[in-house]
Each structure stands twice: as C-alpha cells, then as structure tokens.
Amino acid sequence: MAPRWKGKTGEAKEPMSVIVSKLQTSLIESNAQGLLSGCVVLLEALPEQTELLYRACIGRPLITAEKDKQWHQLSFEEALYLCSVLKCIKVAGENKSVKSDEELWHYMVAKRVSFPVMFKAYSHLRRKNWVVRAGSQYGVDYVAYRYHPAFVHSEYAVLALPDDDDGDGENSRLKVWSDFHCTLRLCGSVAKTMLVLHISRNGEDATVSLSGLEHYSVEERIVTRWNPEVSRDTN
C-alpha cells in the first residue's frame, strides 16, 4: 500500500530511523530525565530536542508559563520505549528519585492491566520505524503512519490481542462478531487497513518482570472485508 500524502512529500524524505537516532543521541548527551505524573510522564526538553520529538512524533508539547522551558507529555508506551529500549532517558518518581526499568514497569502495569500487551504492540511497530499514535477515535488501539502525521494519513488501524484472551478481558473485541464487523467497516470508511497483532505470551507473565516481555511474540494479520461485487467471477 502506498502512503496517502497530504501534499508535503518533499518534507518527509529523512527516514524515521535517522530522526529517532538523532533524538536518542541528543537525549543521552543531555542526560534527559522525565517525571512520573499519574498516568503520563513529563519530559523537559531542549529546543533541539523539541524539534526532534516533533519530527519523531513522540510526546505532545505542553503550554506552560515558563518561557525558557519546554515540557512534553509522554504516554506510558512512549516513555518506557525511550527508557528501556532506546535507553536515552531516565524517569523519576514523585519523590524525585530515579526509578529502575523494573520499578517503572511495575508502576505502569499497576496503572493499566493491559499494558504488557499494549507495550509489546507499540514497541513492535516502533522498531519497524512506524509512527504510532493512539487509535481510540477509530475504535482501535493504535494507528500507524509511514511518516509524520503532518505529511501522510495513517495506513493501519491496529488491534493488539493476547492469544490466550478468554473473552472477558479489555482486548476481547474480536470475540463478538458485531463489534468486529463495525470496526472493520469503520476502517474501510476512513481508508485504513485493519492490522491485528496477536500477542503470544508463550507461558511468560510479564507482569512479574519486564524481562518476561522479551519472550512474548507477535504475529501480524491483515483483516479485510470481502466484497462480493469485486470478488465474483465475471467470466
């Protein structure tokens, strides 16, 4: 599938992997540190980092009265990805002490039971250099862009589903046919392809330790709606 451009193709030539690498280097050099605040992480950024965060499509800038500081609000997925995968920021708790990756993981899992599956899906797509944003407006977990959302429309509407879900959890939407059908039709109406990421825990419980997430595996499945008018034999 080719990207659907918004008329700014010339500005999106730099690969996302290069942009993220520049951001990673800048954050490491400045010893960047985020601050836990409820269900988000606040990150103070230098002007150069603000630009790179925007281009990498990570976090959202906050409007504050401090003219010499720029704060960005990171989701749990974004913060943990920067902290544990790219290893370019540290995160402190309310007492200002820096949390280890494991401490940060347990804090986030306690806040959101579905976080292990959601983070596995998020990091899986980010490692492939997709831009990942929340997809609640489309009834899915994430939407994935090939480039920055300012340049292209998202290509995939993403659902992250644990393979051992019993149908009663937070991610059991495909267990009900009517919900599945509505989501699929919505994806078609907004020109997005439904991408289902089946997350297999492989007997590991990542709620116990962040290292358990390494044993999770991801299977990608594209789901499309069968159109009899297009698919029928006209001979």
Residue 69, phi then psi, degrees to nearest 5? -130, 145
145 is an active site residue: yes
22 is an active site residue: no
Catalytic annotation, pick one of 72, 142, 192, 216: 192
d(CA 44, CA 65): 14
Please give the radius of gyration of the chain, using alpha carbons only, rounded to the nearest integer: 19
Catalytic annotation, pick one of 6, 90, 153, 175: 153
d(CA 152, CA 142): 16
CB 205 within 8 A of CB 216: no
67 is an active site residue: no
d(CA 19, CA 173): 35
Read off the amino acid at residue 135.
G
CB 109 within 8 A of CB 116: yes
Residue whose tokens read 């879900």: 165
Residue 36, phi then psi, degrees to nearest 5? -65, 135
> CB-based burial of residue 168 (10 Å sphere; 0-12 exposed, 13-18 middle, 19+ buried)?
exposed
d(CA 16, CA 58): 12
Catalytic annotation, pick one of 145, 147, 156, 216: 145
Positions marked catalytic: 145, 153, 192
